[in-house]
Amino acid sequence: MSSAHDTKGTVRPDSRNNTASNSIPASDSVDAAARRAFGSTTQYLQAELEASGSDLGLLEKLNDASITKYEGLSRQAQDMLVHAYKIKQTYNEMTLQIAQVDSLVESVDTLEHVAQELDRYSLQLEAKFQKLLK
């Protein structure tokens, strides 16, 4: 397809190809195509920006939810530390009492052993006394 240009930049139809599309000035068709391309690009970029904005909004919500969850976990961990400290204090206080109980148990065991030996000895004495009486 060959065409000739005039001084205004319009395309003049060639004598061999005389169609209606060739009668549109070249600058007008390029302008329209460029406008459509820029319009489509604008729409695409706006959609991308909106999607990015939506993604950022979702990330912000997830971030807020994570913050709330971790604040709760932090409070629970702090409460557990306080309880662990109280338990350790109670254990330390009870350690002395446990040692005293252990000492008492040993004393009772010793006393029981002495009582058993005394019982055996008294039985022996009673047997000797019975022999002497006969």
**66-120 pLDDT, tens digit each:** 999 999 999 999 999 999 999 999 999 899 999 999 999 999 999 999 999 999 9
Q: Rounded distance, CA 53 to CA 59, Å?
A: 10
**31-58 pLDDT, tens digit each:** 899 999 999 999 999 999 999 999 999 9
Q: Rounded distance, CA 46 to CA 40, Å?
A: 10
What kind and span of H or E run contains 3? none
In this predicted structure, the answer to whether residue 15 has a pLDDT above a threshold of 60 is no
Q: Rounded distance, CA 97 to CA 90, Å?
A: 11
Task: Kindly write down the DSSP assignment for every residue of 64-115, as one continuous string.
Answer: HHHHHHHHHHHHHHHHHHHHHHHHHHHHHHHHHHHHHHHHHHHHHHHHHHHH
